[in-house]
Amino acid sequence: MTEVLLEARNIGKKFGGVQALKDVSLTIRRGEIYGLIGPNGAGKTTLFNVFTGLYPRDGGEVLFAGKPLTLESPHTVAAAGIARTFQNIRLFGNMTARENVMVGRHVRTRAGVVGAILRTRAERAEETAIRRRADELLHYVGIADRADALARNLSYGDQRRLEIARALATEPQLLALDEPAAGMNATETAGLRQLIEGLRKDGLTVLLIEHDVKLVMGLCDRVAVLEYGEKIAEDVPEVVRSNPKVIEAYLGTSAH
């Protein structure tokens, strides 16, 4: 349980004159749900985008499963085993739910143009496997009945689930969720919580950015808090909750 899956050392990121991240170091252990919280603009999503290769980092290094992560491009990060979802859901709106998940299998499959044109036996077998896996994952996240619906026509909660299914299709070791509960109602959030707990039970490591403090504190094994691009705390939820710096920065004081 205590094996380190991802270790970030002194990550820095500048946007023009703004230091969005300053020497952020953190470690995520295999099998845990790791929460990342902080006020708006604290750099949570920036850190996330650096981890997943969307932004180049200015300094520091990331070790993933013991190996340095090159972070040169999102697809190599996906191949290495980090999958993500987006804060403002990004699905392939005009593809069906099943096709969305099938796209997620791309990085773990091989068939090329020649195989597709000749419909070789290997290609057909692979297509069948892709399809079967997609259906399994849709079932896993609980939207199997919507497999043939266009992604854009799914309800908000189902779209979140579909995005998670597509991320799972890449066979990640670390699943990074960017504010998955944003905009969800209480029932949907409860369902999401169950889903994430199920992921942990199945041995997946989850990195969770979230505004919903109750969800984070209830769900995560450990929590890190960012403020102005710096990590101000990292510990189990109970300790973080009573950290005065955190209370002042994020949970609010009566100062005003």
Residue 212 sits in the site that holds another protein (CB under 8 A): no
Does 207 contact another protein by CB under 8 A?
no
Q: At 91, which amino acid appears? A: L
Half-sphere exposure of 236 (CA within 13 A, CB side): 2
Q: Alpha carbon 158 to chain centroid distance? A: 16
Check residue 86 for interaction with another protein (CB under 8 A): yes
Shortest Å distance, C-beta 95 to another protein: 6
| Pick 170 or 189: Cβ nearer another protein | 170
* Residue 56 within binding range of another protein, rule CB under 8 A: no
3-state DSSP call for residue 80?
helix
Cβ burial 11-23 (10 Å sphere, 16+ → b, else e): bbbeeeeebbbbe
Q: Which is nearer to another protein, 90 or 132 (CB)?
A: 90
Contact assessment for residue 151 and residue 95, using Cβ atoms and an 8 Å cutoff:
yes
State in angstroms the smallest separation of the CB of 126 from another protein: 7
Task: Enumerate residues 95-154 that contact another protein by CB under 8 A.
Answer: 95, 99, 102-109, 111-113, 115-117, 119, 123, 126-127, 130, 150, 152
Beta bridge partners of residue 225, listed in sequence order: 37, 233
Using CB under 8 A as the binding rule, whether residue 83 contacts another protein is answered as yes
CA proximity to 147, closest of 127, 168, 161: 161
Residues that bind another protein (CB under 8 A): 52, 54, 73-75, 78-79, 83-84, 86, 90-95, 99, 102-109, 111-113, 115-117, 119, 123, 126-127, 130, 150, 152, 166-167, 169-170
